[in-house]
Structure 1
């Protein structure tokens, strides 16, 4: 899990994924035939084959912020979000402000409850109400921080019982699954492109550009999905459960999986005794939605790692589900040339 730990703890908001890109390039050195980076920042790793052209996509970016304002008097920072946040999860968090002169640790603050009016207590928390305190005088902050500097949440990676937990498992765990599958891959006919994509959290942008360039016949997105197996959630609302295997997605807001690919993955999982579960996600999407619409269109599917507490700093995935995802993706890449895509 050392690679997953490095990926989780590294910083990479949409459009600023360079630290993740370096880790991925290093991890795939000697594993693939060639690596390139396009103008948008997607890392495209090619493992050559003579069979169908297959894209496997996992996004590098994490939800985060850009500095939008610096208070000249006291140095407090205001934030512009890039990606979707629940403001309730941000109060009393630590962040890292990534400046040209080096990282600054900061604290997300809010007006104390002790001095709120009764009307203020009734209001929902908004990101606009939050600020970052870096503990320095305003003049020094102005010298070190610029408008547009990226800000990421601070959290260390940890193993919690049978789970792993940290920030940005969405979607560093997908990146990890893709890398590990390529490392284990032996014989294959498919012409495989693993794309560590950028800017997924703000509209599947990296996947759209890379899929247009590659023009795949088959696309597999790797991502997290909601595991809502927790108190207060009815069984029919849970989406997936931790420890029950990799999730084979049927649909989400961005794509409907190709039925031939779904059947083929189910068959592979059952043949190889890989634990799996079926997934329908009512809201949210993955890179598959962009790949599906590239050029003349592609047959797509998403393999998901069930994850609790998505879009927080304590995202949690089960080790067995991560392993199941690696095993199923590896088996798929070895045999995807056998899949029947006729409709």
Structure 2
């Protein structure tokens, strides 16, 4: 199947640093209008969209979480020359910041560039060291008296980069995790008569510690939990086979474990079996470091949940050129839709 790249591009472009998700939240609310029986926004800003199950006398609940925040920054200081200092919101590889454009979301959006000490004046010792985030500043091309009219301490900052199609892939900032937001919207659009209540949770502040998912899972108390997120595709020159994690074009990744959750073997088997029955291309995922909302879904309900995750293989994670394969994205939509439609067909009893 083809995917709606125009919608994906809009979702990736909309800003939403952790804790500052209002603009992407508005877009999601617009896109899911009419797709759920009930929609609410909780105090933290999570969107919780309920699609009621049919013939569900036991009131079983499935919670699917895709976080809407993206890694970003927050303004911490404006110096006498108008240069802006910042603190990171989420994990960054500092070397990927060099010569990048960013947007400060103040009283109006202000385009700026990341700057640091020029290589021409670095000492031989400095050239051997990797840069630190604290060595960067943002140059708005304006003197301080102009900057402070629009920018203040506490304003969020996001990266500036349009989505483009490269070969069979899409390439953009914030593929992590806007591609999963897209997948959840598209699956919700196709979902007609789920057997169990489905809570589509568009969560906040994942990049700073799964905070929104923890709160949402505590409210919903799901029987089953499915995380939707990106995962590492280290299928590039020089990568040893055992370090690849996943590969682009090999299908939806079904998580076995990551740094924050060991997925329930029943959920892993259910997803793998569902993929096989539906002729959906899939690949296993073991990510030894890093975590996703899956951990919150698994642990924050009163009884815990039978939890797992569907992941989108992605190259160049936490950079501005994140890349995912369109066929993998389509496979994730298909797998999520098939799973949500057949939860009642699996024997969930402990072995």
**What does residue 13 of structure 1 align with?**
17
User: Per the alignment, in what secondary structure is the counterpart of residue 277 of structure 1?
Assistant: strand
**What does residue 136 of structure 1 align with?**
142
Q: CA offset at residue 186 of structure 1?
A: 2.4
User: Per the alignment, in what secondary structure is the counterpart of residue 54 of structure 1?
Assistant: strand
Q: CA offset at residue 304 of structure 1?
A: 0.2
**What does residue 37 of structure 1 align with?**
41
User: Per the alignment, in what secondary structure is the counterpart of residue 124 of structure 1?
Assistant: coil
Structure-2 separation of matches of 1:82 and 1:107: 18
User: Which residue of 192, 206, 217 maps to 2:212?
Assistant: 206
Q: CA offset at residue 122 of structure 1?
A: 2.5
Q: CA offset at residue 120 of structure 1?
A: 2.1
State how 1:191-340 maps to structure 2 within 5 Å.
Answer: 191-294=197-300, 295-340=302-347
Structure-2 separation of matches of 1:326 and 1:244: 15
Structure-1 separation of matches of 2:194 and 2:150: 51
Is the CA contact 1:261–1:339 (under 8 Å) kept in the aligned structure 2? no
Task: Return the TM-score normalized by structure 1.
Answer: 0.98
Is the CA contact 2:52–2:194 (under 8 Å) kept in the aligned structure 1? no
User: Which residue of 63, 70, 86 maps to 1:79?
Assistant: 86
User: Per the alignment, in what secondary structure is the counterpart of residue 226 of structure 2?
Assistant: strand
Structure-2 separation of matches of 1:190 and 1:3: 28
- 1:149-192 deviation digits (Å, cap 9, x = unpaired): 00111000111110001011100001111110111112221101
Structure-2 separation of matches of 1:138 and 1:95: 18
Task: Return the TM-score normalized by structure 2.
Answer: 0.96
- 1:302-342 deviation digits (Å, cap 9, x = unpaired): 10010000001110000000000000000000001223222
**What does residue 75 of structure 2 align with?**
67
**What does residue 114 of structure 1 align with?**
120
Q: What root-mean-square deviation, in Å, do the aligned CA atoms of Structure 1 and Structure 2 show?
A: 0.9
- 1:16-75 deviation digits (Å, cap 9, x = unpaired): 11111111111111111111000001010011112520000000000000001100x210
**What does residue 126 of structure 1 align with?**
132
Q: CA offset at residue 238 of structure 1?
A: 0.2
Residues matched between the structures, number? 341
Structure-1 separation of matches of 2:130 and 2:233: 26
Q: CA offset at residue 85 of structure 1?
A: 0.3
Structure-1 separation of matches of 2:39 and 2:192: 19
User: Per the alignment, in what secondary structure is the counterpart of residue 221 of structure 1?
Assistant: strand
Q: CA offset at residue 124 of structure 1?
A: 2.1
1:152 aligns with 2:151: no
Structure-1 separation of matches of 2:318 and 2:123: 30
Name stretches of at least 5 consecutive residues in structure 2 with no aligned partner.
none
**What does residue 101 of structure 2 align with?**
94
User: Per the alignment, in what secondary structure is the counterpart of residue 8 of structure 2?
Assistant: helix
Is the CA contact 2:15–2:24 (under 8 Å) kept in the aligned structure 1? yes
Is the CA contact 1:260–1:339 (under 8 Å) kept in the aligned structure 2? no
Name stretches of at least 5 consecutive residues in structure 1 with no aligned partner.
none
Structure-1 separation of matches of 2:316 and 2:130: 20
**What does residue 8 of structure 2 align with?**
4
Structure-1 separation of matches of 2:212 and 2:346: 26
Is the CA contact 1:108–1:132 (under 8 Å) kept in the aligned structure 2? yes
Structure-2 separation of matches of 1:52 and 1:37: 22
Structure-2 separation of matches of 1:109 and 1:229: 31
**Structure 1 stretches (4+) deviating beyond 4 angstroms?**
none
